[in-house]
Structures are given as C-alpha cells and as structure tokens.
Amino acid sequence: MISITPDAYCHIILHSRKHFMEPVTGVLIQNENKDQDINNTVVNEIIPLFHNFSSYTLSINYDIAFAIINVYCEKNGKKIIGLYHGNENQINNAIPSSIESVVNSINSVNKKGILLLLNNKKLENFEEKSVFDVYESVQLKLIKVSSDNLIAEENSNESQFIVENFETTTKKLKELLENNRFEEIFDFEDHLLNPEKNFLGGKTF
C-alpha cells in the first residue's frame, strides 16, 4: 500500500497551483526505517523540481538535481522513491516519456519507483477524493495501481493509495489555497535563478 502524509500532499498541490499554467514535477521522498513494513510505502516528503516543459524533459536537469537531493537524503536518512507530475491542462493525463523513464530509473536504483500523476480534473473536487492517479514501476513499465475509485480512509483494506487524515488534510489545503500559501513554494528551477530560495527540506503547513 502507498500512503502520503498531509504536508507532502498539500505541498504537491500548492506547487501545482503556483504554476497552474505550466507542467510541474517533483521528487517523492520516504524516511528510511529498518523496521518499516516493506509492503507499505509512505511518501513523507516531496521536493519540487520543475515548472517548465523544457526542464522536465532534459535528463541533464535530473542529473544535477538528483546529485544534490541524494546528498540531502544520505545526510537525513531518506531516500528517493519516485516522482509526481502534473501536465499543464485538464484534458492531458498522459504520462510523458521522460517522466516514465526517470521513474523506471529510480526503481532500478532504489527498488521502488512510484509516480503520482496529478489529475487536473480532480482538483475541482479535491475535498471529495485524492487528486492523483497512482502508478508503480514494474519491469520497466508503469502500472496503474489506483485511480478514480480511491478510498481515502486510513482504516480501509481496499485502497492501494491513502491520503493520511484525508478530511482534515483537505480542510487545511483549502485554507492554504485561500491564503495564497503557494507563493511560499520554491522548486529547483527557482533555486537555480536565486540560490537563496531553498527547495530542499519538507514543508510543514
């Protein structure tokens, strides 16, 4: 089963809202815990990377960003487990080939490769259900594991993707959006233009 923490979930959507006319991409991070159930994957944190078509399609950009992120993860007991991505319009829910390739590469290195594909249509009703279509890398292919029939309750055994504390998380997210908190979100692209804009470290809302 795959779950995501409230702060990580809000962080992704705020990144998307800040660049609502552009595609957004970022990294999914899990805390390393030797006692953790290997069948349960938790997205504890996300790191925003790109908000431009030309950025997420170039492999050199990932090489530079991942070199920095891997050092951060090693120092803080974390690991990369996948990507999130949102296309620039509502009708496009296709997975770009560059995104699929990176997720498969993450899986080959870290034995886990997840894609949270932001479904822009679902953003209209984000208080009712998760906004992601969820994929896992299996033998160099992305297989959908959860989509429109998402069950958000933590105590459900039927869902393969869970947003922790879904009801309170969406209430928090609504407040964050109303208060324009997306302006606080900086990604790797922002950092390249202005190194004082930190893109590392999980946001707490």
Which residues touch 21 (CB under 8 Å, ≥6 apart)? 88
Which of 141, 143, 123, 139 has its CA nearest to residue 131?
Answer: 123
3-state secondary structure of 77: coil
Domain-embedded: residue 203: no
DSSP 26-64: EEEEEE--TTS-TT-EEE-EEEEEE-SHHHHT-HHHHHH
Domain-embedded: residue 198: no
Domain-embedded: residue 200: no
Domain-embedded: residue 154: yes
Q: What phi-psi label fits residue 192: left (phi over 0), alpha (psi between -120 and 50 degrees) or beta?
A: alpha
Quote the CA–CA distance of 92 and 53 in Å, as a whole number: 14
Tally of domains in the chain: 1
CATH number at residue 70: 3.40.140.10
Mean pLDDT of all residues in 72-94: 92
Domain-embedded: residue 205: no
Q: What are phi and psi of 138, to 5 degrees?
A: -135, 115
Q: pTM, whole model, 2 decimals?
A: 0.91
Which residues touch 205 (CB under 8 Å, ≥6 apart)? 6, 7, 10, 11, 172, 176, 181
Neighbour-count burial for 143-170, b at 16+ CB within 10 Å, e otherwise: eebbbeebbbeeeeeebbbbbbebeebb
Quote the CA–CA distance of 104 and 89 in Å, as a whole number: 24
Domain-embedded: residue 180: yes
Q: Is 70 exceeded by the pLDDT of residue 76?
A: yes
- Taking all residues of the chain, what is their mean pLDDT, rounded to a whole number? 89
Domain that holds residue 89: 2-193
- pLDDT of 68 reads 96
- pLDDT of 91 reads 80
3-state secondary structure of 140: coil
Domain-embedded: residue 184: yes
Quote the CA–CA distance of 90 and 99 in Å, as a whole number: 18
Integer angstrom CA distances of residue 80 from 5, 65, 83, 96, 129: 15, 12, 8, 20, 25
Q: Is 80 exceeded by the pLDDT of residue 204?
A: yes
Alpha-carbon 4 to chain mean position: 9
- pLDDT of 155 reads 45
- How does residue 202 score in pLDDT terms, banded at 50, 70 and 90? confident
Mean pLDDT of all residues in 45-65: 91
Tens digit of pLDDT for each residue in 126-162?
877 789 999 999 998 999 987 544 444 444 444 588 9
Mean pLDDT of all residues in 49-72: 91
Domain-embedded: residue 111: yes
Residues 66 and 82: beta-carbon distance below 8 Å: no
